Amino acid sequence: MNRVALSSWTGLPHTRIYPALEVELDAENPFAQTEATLLARGSGRSYGDVCLPSDTAVLTSRLRRIHSFDTEHGIITAEAGISLAALLRITIPRGWTLPVLPGTGAVTVGGAIANDIHGKSHHWAGTFGRWVRQIELLRSDGRIRCSPCDNAELLAATIGGAWANGHHHLG
């Protein structure tokens, strides 16, 4: 297992060294091989400590691929560690933007979903999660597809789930 120095955007609490696992889409499920308490990490742009693990970080920086882009309907399928800025570099030349954009493009798709972020378009677009059609969750017991039709409760629990999973605490 690697060790990495992690902090939140505000630097509070202070930077610490954490054990870290790296996730790759096609590799063996790393969660099945550890007893550690894990927390996924996007770009670390959260103001508070929701991006800091109590034990081991799961780094998603290798999950950066775009799998498909339907330019007729504006539907993009991408991995969770890709940044919104990287998505925009692909979509804008093809005439599409993201309906919800926060104050920085550095956040990842995974972080945008977990915190169900908002942008200046909130009055008409709502939050990021409103535009998510399907996600695939990687768990220690395998992968699970979630959409409004399949595992809808799990989808709803994951969008904005950073605030419901007990990982956050202030201070």
Q: Does 64 bind ligand FAD (CB under 6 A)?
A: no
Whole-number Å distance between alpha carbons of 52 and 124: 32
Q: Does 155 bind ligand FAD (CB under 6 A)?
A: no
Q: Does 108 bind ligand FAD (CB under 6 A)?
A: yes
The shares of helix, strand and coil residues in the chain, as percent rounded to the nearest 5, are 25, 25, 50
Stretch that binds ligand FAD, among 24-32, 69-77, 103-111, 145-153 (CB under 6 A): 103-111
Smaller CB separation from ligand FAD, 62 or 94 = 62
Contacts of residue 68, Cβ cutoff 8 Å, sequence gap at least 6: 75, 76, 77
Q: Does 39 bind ligand FAD (CB under 6 A)?
A: yes
Whole-number Å distance between alpha carbons of 119 and 128: 8
Neighbours of 170 (CB within 10 A): 7
Nearest residue to 171 (alpha-carbon basis) of 10, 59, 27, 26: 10
Whole-number Å distance between alpha carbons of 3 and 94: 40
Q: Does 42 bind ligand FAD (CB under 6 A)?
A: yes
Q: Does 40 bind ligand FAD (CB under 6 A)?
A: yes
Q: From residue 116 to residue 145, what is the string marking binding to ligand FAD with x (rule CB under 6 A)?
A: -xxx--------------------------
Interface ranges with ligand FAD (CB under 6 A) = 9, 39-46, 50-51, 60, 80, 102-104, 107-108, 110-112, 114-115, 117-119, 162, 167
